């Protein structure tokens, strides 16, 4: 989703699902299995699968750090404790863990503009800054302790 957004391409349900299946196949071949990924492992997958090196993990970020990356034209992807987002379109109680793309912000409304793959209504979905920020949590290895993961985001640089 991040690369499609940077390239101005559309992701359809069919193309998105196929990309996920292709990545799973790649992970099984390259890594010996398909697992939930920490931010660091996700960056490694981006580098290995897409052959793209202009990507990095940032820890202990702030709302302003995310906004600054977006202002530079970069894409920010974050591991999220989905249950903390309170999105009414999630199947209750929401995903324990998933990644979300941050693509813009609106200071007037105090909201991040996202593409949230957790729901079919996720395109351009808006979250209040603090709501989104509070839900950012790296994978801990357990869906029971996801909310204790440290703050981590992945920055895909546009240039």
Tell me the domain boundaries of the chain: 2-156
Spatial neighbors of 70 by CB under 8 A, at least 6 apart, are: 76, 102, 103, 104, 105
Model's pTM, two decimal places? 0.86
pLDDT value, residue 135: 94
CB 114 within 8 Å of CB 132: yes
CATH class of 2-156: alpha beta
Each residue's pLDDT expressed in tens, for the chain with a length of 159 residues = 776 766 677 777 787 788 888 888 989 999 888 878 889 998 999 899 988 899 999 999 999 999 999 999 999 999 998 889 999 988 888 888 888 999 999 999 999 999 887 788 888 999 999 999 999 998 876 555 555 568 999 999 986
CA distance 111 to 88: 16
Q: How many helices (H) and strands (E) does the chain have?
A: 5, 6
CA distance 84 to 96: 9
CB 110 within 8 Å of CB 104: no
pLDDT value, residue 145: 53
Residue 37: Cβ within 10 Å count? 18
pLDDT value, residue 149: 64
Strand order through the sheet with 75-80 = 55-59, 152-156, 75-80, 98-106, 111-115, 123-128
């Amino acid at each position: 989703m991040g690369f499609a957004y940077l390239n101005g391409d559309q992701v359809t349900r069919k193309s998105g699902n196929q990309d996920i299946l292709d990545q799973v196949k790649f992970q099984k071949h390259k890594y010996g299995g398909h697992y939930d990924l920490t931010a660091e492992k996700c960056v490694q997958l981006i580098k290995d699968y897409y052959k793209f090196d202009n990507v990095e993990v940032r820890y202990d970020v702030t709302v302003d750090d995310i906004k600054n990356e977006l202002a530079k034209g970069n894409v920010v992807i974050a591991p999220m404790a989905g249950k903390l987002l309170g999105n009414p379109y999630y199947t209750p109680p929401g995903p324990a863990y998933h990644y979300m793309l941050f693509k813009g912000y609106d200071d007037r409304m105090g909201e991040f503009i996202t593409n949230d793959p957790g729901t079919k209504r996720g395109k351009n979905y808006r979250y209040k800054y603090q709501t989104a920020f509070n839900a950012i949590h790296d994978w801990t290895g357990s869906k029971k302790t996801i909310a204790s993961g440290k703050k981590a985001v992945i920055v895909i640089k546009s240039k």
